[in-house]
Amino acid sequence: MASTDQGTTYRYIFNRHVNLDDAADCLTLAVCAAEGLHGRARIRLDGSWRLDRQRRVCTIDAGTAVGRDLAKLFAGYLSAEFGDQAFWVRRTEAKAA
């Protein structure tokens, strides 16, 4: 059974100089790498991400092992492609009801 951190998300906020097509390519690479770790079915079942081009933000649900690995891989690819100063990462957690 997968361990979950319900409500944990990572928001990647991009500087204006970051080409969002290139950021989307980094996301695709991260998804492919996570698929190599977890398998295609697990990515489809437990992976959740969204790239909002207008707001220049990518959100990854990190409530599962798939999401946590995807978030780490994406951050690594972004750093390699654009440098650490090209984006910010914010971790958010939902409050318990």
Q: How many whole angstroms separate alpha carbon 53 and alpha carbon 1? A: 34
Beta bridge partners of 29: none
Q: pLDDT, tens digit, for every residue of 52-86?
A: 999 999 999 999 999 999 999 999 999 999 999 99
Q: pLDDT, tens digit, for every residue of 13-48?
A: 999 999 999 999 999 999 999 999 999 999 999 999
The domain ranges of the chain are: 19-89
Q: Which helix (H) or strand (E) holds 92?
A: strand 87-92
* Residues near 94 by beta carbon (within 8 Å), at least 6 away in sequence: 6, 7, 8
pLDDT class for 96, splitting at 50, 70, 90? low
Asked whether the CA dihedral 44, 45, 47, 52 is positive or negative, the reply is: positive
